[in-house]
Structures are given as structure tokens and as C-alpha cells.
Chain A
């Protein structure tokens, strides 16, 4: 491995075919992201991982690393743009952290802490999206969905069940459930599915375990996401014991 690019002035080696975010992660450099997950094909939709490659804005999860690229990531300009993206995500849904079981384990929240988001800035949409509590083990709260499609990819590519999909376009895009009734209880989804492990926010929750770990003792209460994101594998939910 001899080829390399620079990330914020630091030399990053890469293997052929790697994206910028993959090569950066291998070199221990964290680039903020929400819809990217190292185990899945990139989706390129949240745009939080946008970097400047030779002066041009590119999503680092979908841009291949090439020799000699000059990549900027941790700059005031890009972090300001990332804060704006986060603010739009916060006002488009109902992200009321004090009542959310995911608070402290939430990547949206932790990334907003990391980037110093003090206010949602924009006018809130306060959308009205009914929750799906039909499944005995799983709660689906569409109010918190940020349309990252990780559950869609996990259910399709790993679980091979296709329980979830994104439907509609633009501002009307929404998460849907693959059942005639549209309800989670009428799918073959199971707690042990990969799709249950990857939600970065509090949209897919395991029932009855929300406060097993107290507030302020959770993943991102203990360490900032920039310190631990590259060490964690799947932290969406605590390890699931096999149910009878």
C-alpha cells in the first residue's frame, strides 16, 4: 500500500477501491456521519460526511480515495454546514430528547453535541406521525426517523427480509413497513435482526429495556462520539439475549 491522500494535512494511506471515509477510519480519523455504516453499502443521503476534495464538496462515504487528493474535513466552514444539516434534521422530526429512551445513545444527539449545536435555529415542523407499537417486542417511532435507511439496508442485505423501505420523495419521504396492514406486528421482523441493531436514533426501540442504563451513564455521556465512533461496532441496542 503506497498510495495516499491528505486529510486536514495528515497523510492517509488507502487500498484500491476504498472510499475516503473508509480510508480515514482505518487511519483513525473520524469524519462525522449518520447514514454511513462500515458494514453496509453507502447511501450518501445525510451529507454529514461531506468533505472538500481538492476544493469541491463531496460525500466522503461515496467518493473513492485517489492518490494525491487534498481533503479537508475538520474545518470551521464544513462544521458550520454540518451543524446546519443537523438543525434541519432536528426541526423536521420530533426530537424531544428528555422523553426519548435513546437519549445518551443517540448518534444524532451525540453528533450535535460534538459539533456544538446550541439551537435548532429553524422553525419546527412539529409533524404528526403516529407511532407503531403493534409489535410485542419492538417500538417504531416515526417521529424520530431521520431516513438514514440503515434499517432498510440491514433488513434487505443481512436479514434478507425487506421489512423496511423508504417511500415517497423529497420532503414527503417516509419510512414504511412491508406488510399489507403497514404494521410491524404483521412482518417477520425479530429482535435478533440486524435491522434492530443499526438505528442511529430512537426510531427503532426494543420495548421494556429503554432505561436499563440510567441517563448520564450511557455511551455518549461517557465519551464524545469523535473518540469512540471508530471503536464501536453496533451500539444501537444492548446485546440481545436469545428469547425462547
Chain B
């Protein structure tokens, strides 16, 4: 059961972000700031990313995390922040979007 409880802590976004930062890594945080339609994760949901692409938390059901991580990694060298928008996906393969038909805005910021 201890293992299960530790498992629950493993998805504490801010705790992990802090741990990574204190270990000397570059870290960025992404937060869902607005949703329309059937967005998979509610406003306020967060994702932390480190400079080797480790991630914890989520901003969608896995649909746009890849794109958010790319943007987060791009922000890390210079720092700063950026707002991203993801909408309904079309049928083209590899298109980044939400298959569920929702739309979300995600704010990404580097930790400094």
C-alpha cells in the first residue's frame, strides 16, 4: 500500500517541478487556462516538463502533451512565457489537436 501512496505522490506536478529545479534541471510549467466544449482536463490542470523531456501531470488526455513539451523545451534556454491554443483536430495524421472536439488554451512558463 505504501507503494500505491507513493505512486499517488508521483503525479504531484509542483512537487516534481521543484525537485527537478533543485536538482539543477531546466523546468517549465504548463497550465490549462481556458477550455471550450468537451475539453479533457479542466481549467487549472498542470503539467511540468524538465529539459530531458520528463513530464508529470497533464493538460489533456494525452492529445496535445507532445506539442506542449516541444514548446516548453523551446522556452527553457531563454526563459519567459507563451500562450498556446489547441482546437478540434482534423483527420490528418500527426496533426496536433483534441480528438474529443474541444478547444483549450495552455499557458507555458519557464521556471527561473
Q: Do A and B bind each other?
A: no
B residues sitting closer than 8 Å to A (CB atoms) are none
Point out residues on A near B: beta carbons under 8 Å. Answer: none
